[in-house]
Structure 1
C-alpha cells in the first residue's frame, strides 16, 4: 500500500477529536517519547550481540494470524492483513492495519503463532509500526487513541485451537506509543521501532496485540533471543550461550579444548546479559607433537623429522643423533647406541655411553700394592658444542673390576663408583699377575638397563628419571647390565725381598728430635736405592697416621716429635726391585720441654734451700755445743791445777763472797798469773764461719786441733757447741 492510499484509508475512518483529548494525548506522548528513547538506546546496545530469530514477519509471504473480532458478525472491521511497500527502501512486508476510531468500545485482538522458545531464557520482541495523530480526525473520531497494548501468554505445548483471548489469561508487557512520531497528511510516514523482552520458563509463548481505538499499522514483528556468540579462546571452544533470564544474570559456560589440545586448567567464560563474554579463566594447550596456530586457534600436527615437546614452542627439527619416524611426534627417538641424558629435556641431543679411559698407567707396584692412573675418555665427536661437551665429561664416574683380587684387597677410593682418575690397591699377593679393568660410566649408561624392562614408547618416562653425579656414586652397578667404556691393564707384583735392616738404635733424643742409626742389611742381589724410616706414637700402632722420610745414609735425624711421648721407630731399605721388610721396632720417649724442666728446677731449688738452711742451723748448734763443753772442761782443768798454779786471793779460799758481782771473766783475766790462752785474746763469732771446725781452730789456737772433737751443737742463737778436748 502506498502512502497516498494509506492516507486515504485513514481519512475514511477519521473521527472528530476534542481539543481536551488532544492536549492529554500530546502530554502523554511526550512522556512515552522519553521512555522510548531509553529503550531504543538499549536496543542498539543489544544489537551487537548474536540473535537467534524465532519469528520474523518480514520474511513471510503471508501471515494469517488469529484475529478478534473477525468475520461477518464482527461489529468493527478489526485487524486487516495488508502489504506495506516502500520501493525506495526496498520494503515489501506483510502487515496488519487497524483504524476503528469511528466506533465505541473498540477491543481488537491480534495473536501471533505459538513461538517455541528453544534454549532461550529471555525472549525479545521487536515491533515496527506507524500510528496516526488523532488530530487528523476532528469531530469524527468516537474513541481515538495513540497507543496499543502488547501482551503474552506462556504455554507448555502448541495447539491448533486459537489461543485464549480473555484479558485475564494474558499478562501485559507494555502499552506502546509512537516514539519516532505520528504522521498526518502533511508529513511522511514515521516508522517507530519498539523492543521489549520477557523472561520465559515454559515451552513457548503467544504474543498478542490489543487495539482499543487507535489508528495503527503493525508493519513488522521479530521475536528472538540474545546469545553470547560461539568463540574460541586459549584453544578452548565455547558454544553459543543464551543470556540469563534477567539482564543482570551472568551465565557461566565451560569450554572444550580444540582438536589435539588438552586443558591445563578447566576453561570457563562468563556470558553477560548483553550477550558479551567476560572474565576468561583457564584454557588448553596443544598436545605434544602439535604446533599451536594462534591465528586460526588450532593445533597443527608436526611433520616428519620434527617434534614438539613442552620445552619448545613450535615444531622443531630433531636434535643430533635422534629422529622422528612419524608425524605428530612428541619427541625424537635416539638413534641406535645413543641415549638421552635423563637431566636433559627432549630438545637436547642424544648421547652415547662414554668411550674407554685413555692413558691407563701403572704408577707404582711392589710386593703387595699398586697405583694405577688414567685420563678421562676422549670427547664424543657427536657434540661440538662446548656446553654439551662439559655435560658429557662432568657426568662420568668410574668403576674398577679385578677378577682375581681376593676379598682382602683394599681399594682407595673405597666406594663402588668414584670420579677420581687414580686408584690404589693394597693387600695384593706377591709375584701375582693381575688384570684390572677401569670402566667409564655416565647417566645414559643406565638407560640400557631400564630399556630391558620397558619398550621404546616408554622411553619418555625413562628420561624423566633424574640422575646426578652424586647419585651415580651411590648406585651399586652391575657392569653386565650397563653400557660402559672400559680399558684394562695387566701387571705383576714383585717378589718378597729378604733384605732387612739390622741393629736399629737411637743415638740421642730430645723433646722434639731424635737421631737414629742402623747397620746396612745383609748383601742382596739388588743395589740399595735409599732407606725409608717411619715413626708413630706407640698408642697409634694400628692407625694409619704414620710419618716417614727417605735417606741414603745409615742414619737419620727426625724432627717434629711430640714431647713426652713414646714413639716406635722402624727402617726398611728400597732396591730397584722394591722395598724390603721393616726392621724390628724400637721404642723411645721424648723429653719434656724447657718450660717443664724450668718448673721442676724451681721446685728442686726450693727443697734444696730448705735442706741447706736446716744444715746451717745444725752446724751452728754444734759449734755452740762445742763452745759450751769446752768452757766446762776448762773449768774442770782449772780446778785440778790449783795445786800447781798460783791463784788469786779470791780463789785461795773455798768460800766465795756471794755479794761480789764482779764478772768471773774479769777476775779471771786480772788474777791469772799464767793466762791459758796467751796474753791477748780476740772475740771469735762462729756465725762468720761456714765450717764450725774453722771457728774452733780460731777460738782454741793453744790447743792441738787433733785433740778437739765437736760432739753436738747445743744452741742456735748464740751458736753454742759442745766441744770435747782430749
Structure 2
C-alpha cells in the first residue's frame, strides 16, 4: 500500500491540478525549508564514496534551465556500494523532517548485458550530530552509524535518454523521519547498482502558524517528532475576552499534529460582558452606544430595550430613563416601565348597605401587565365644611382592599345617609420605585341615593350594511326615574379608546354610519338624577356584508309584533312604568332564538342551515381527499385518517369524520352544524377546520390531524414521563384556546381532557363542539346524565349548570379546573368510582378534589378558584392564562407541593392519614386509601399484615405489579404514616 506521502506526490498530475494549487498553497505556507537543491546552478559539493561512484553534473530541465544533479550508473560489476552524503543540515528546532526526492531510474530490462546486477532502487539514511564532524572517513561508509529511512523504488523508469540528454521519466517521493534530538543531521543516499539521476532534494519540516481561534491567540508551534504526535499549545484570550468556564477545562489549548495542522481544541474564550464578536471570532469589540450585552458569551450586543439607554460603549446594562424603572423581578434586559395612569370610567352601584365599584383599566399601563388596584375609603361631611377621614375597620372589602387584580370591588357595612369618597389607585411593581404618587380615580357616593343598576342584556332588532338597531330592558334596580340611556360602541378590531357614544331617551336606538361586515362592541348604561349607572357587559353585533348575505331574523309576522311591542316598551319607559310579564317572556323568546348576532354566530339562527355551512365552512372537492385508515367511530359515523392535496399545494395529513349512510335530514343538519361552529374559530389552541364535503357521498368534515389523540388517554399512556413545567405548558395552551372562545362569546359546555386533542409537538387544542347544540339524553353513556332534556357531563360541570342548565364562560372555567386535575393526575378519572349522584351531593356540601400526587400548591389553589360555588367569584380565562404564564416564567413557584390551601372548600378525599387502629387488615387499609384494586396483588405476595407492609419499598411495589407512578406514591406515603403508628419512625409530614 502506498504511503500518504506517495499518494500526495502523485496527485500533482492529472485533473486535480486546480485543487492541488490550493492544497500546495496551504501546505507550503506551513513548511519551513532546511535544504533545497532545485534552484542550485553552481556546484553543490556533496561528498561521494568511492570517488568514482556518484558524480555531480549539470543538465537542463524541461524548461531549458540549467540545474545541478547527481548521477550514478556503475553496473558492470556486482556488489556496488556507492554513497552520497549531504553537508551538515541544522534542524532549526524541527522535531521531525520530511525529504522530497526528485529522481529518475533506468529500466534494467533495457540493459540486457547487466540485467543480473542492475537495480532500480536506492536507500535513504540519516545521521544526527551536535556539530559538523564529517570527513572523508566519518561517518563511516556503511549502515552501522547511519539510521535507515527507507528503500526508495521508482514508480516510473525509462529505457533510454533522448538526444538532448533530458530525463523523460521523473519520480517524486517524500519520506519523513524523527524524532530529532541533536543540533543537526546528514542525509546519505546508497546506490547498490542502479543507473539513476538524483535530480533534486528538498528537506523541510512542518509547523503550525500563529493563529487566532475562538477568541484566543496561539503562537507558532513546531510539529511533533512522530507522525501521530499532538503538540499542545496554550492560548491567550484576545483583548476583552475571558476564558469560558467549561467543566473539566484546564485552560485554552490547541494541538499541532504531525502535518502542521491545528486540531483538537480544548477550552475556549468568550467576549466579556459589554463586548461582542467581530471578524469571525478573531476579536471582541465594545457594544456601540445604545446597545448592551449583559453576560460573558458569544451572543451579540442587543439594542437597549424600551425607555432605557446606554450612554457609553461597552455597556453591560441599559440604564432606565427618567420616570422609568425595572422591578426587582425584572431581568436586566427587560424594558424599563413606568407607573400606570389612573383607572377609567369609575362607577358605582348601591345594593343595600353595600356599594359595588367598577372601573376600566388605565389607558396607560406603564408598559407592564402586572397592574393592581388599591381602594381608599373616606367618610366626608355632607353639610358643614371639614376634612374627610379614613373609613373605620368595620367597612369590609370583597375580595380585598389592596392588591386587586380585577376591576371591581364590593364595599360592605357602610353607614346610611353618609357621603363617602372612594379613590381607586392603579399601581404596578415599579410604583414603589417611583417618587411620583400613584394615579387614582375618585368618585363620591351618598348612601342616601344610588344610581341605576347595570342593564343585563341587549338585543338586535334589525341590521343593515351600515346600521344596527338595538333594544334593551330597563335596569333591574332603576333607583329613581330613568332620564335617558347612553350607548357606547366601537369597532372590535380597533382600540377601545376610539369609542363613540349616543344618547337615547328610550330603550331602543339605531346606530348609523357603520361599515359593512364589521363586528362592533356595544355597552349601555342608564342615567337618573343621581347620575349614570355602570355600563353593561360588552355585547358583539355585526353589520351585514355588502353582498347578498342573508340576515338571521324572525318570521315576518313576528317581526311586526316585536316592533309593536318594542314601541310599547319605549312608551312604557317614558311613562316610568315597570316592565310587564309579557315583556319578560318576549325577552326570553328573543334570547332562546339567538337573535343577538355576536362574534360567534349560532348556526341555528339561520333559516336555511345550508347557508351557515356555506358561510363558515369551505367546500372541498372529494377528489382532493384520500382516506387511508379508519381510526375510530363517532356519533354520526366513522373517523378516519387520510391526506388532503389541493392542486398546486403540498399534501398533508387530516382527520376525516364521515356521515353514515341512511341518514335523515335532521342527522345531516346536526352533523354539519359542528362544522358551522368550528369554521368560525381560528386559533392555535382550537382544532382547525379544513373544510367539508357536502356535494358527494359520504358527507365529510375534514379537520387537522392530531397525532397523539385525546389528552386523557395520551396522559395515561405517558404517566410520569413529563416535567411539571411541561404539564403547565399544556394547561396554558388549553386556557389560551378557551380564552379565545370566551372572547368570542362561545360557551363550550363539555370541556374535558377527552375533548382536548394533542399533536406531535404536545400542542393541546380544544375540540368537540357537540354540546353547544341541544342533544338527546343518552343513558348508555355513564359520563353524561340527562337533565332537562340535555345530557350533561356531571363530573366536569359546574353546579349551576347541573341544577339550572345555566351554561356560561364561568361554568367552562369550572370544567377547566377539572381538566387541570386530570392533567396533573395523568388522566385519572375525576372523583374515581363515585356515582354521579354522589358527586353532585359532595359538591353541594362544599367538598372539592384534593391535589394529585406531587401537584404544586399554586396549581391546586388555582383549581380551587375555578371551583368557587359562586360563579362570579371564579377567575376569567384571561386571568388563568396570566397566572399560568407567571408560573412558566418563574418555575420556582411550582416546587412547593401539598394541599397548601386556605380556601374554605374541603378536599373531597382528605389527605389525613387513615385511622390505623380502626383498620383490621390490609384490605381495609387499601380501601381507605382508595387503592382497593390492588388487593389481589398484595394477597398473592403474602402481604397481609401491617408489620410486613410497613417494610415495603418502591422496588417491592414494582415487583408485585404496581407500575403507575401516582399509585406508587400514594401507597408509599401511607406506608410512611403506617410506620409512625407502628413506632418504627419519627412522625413525618406527608
TM-score of the alignment, normalized to the shorter chain, above 0.5: no
Higher strand share: 1
Task: Give me the TM-score of the superposition, normalised by structure 2.
Answer: 0.33
If asked which structure has higher relative contact order (CA below 8 Å, sep 6+), I would say: 1
Task: Give me the TM-score of the superposition, normalised by structure 1.
Answer: 0.44
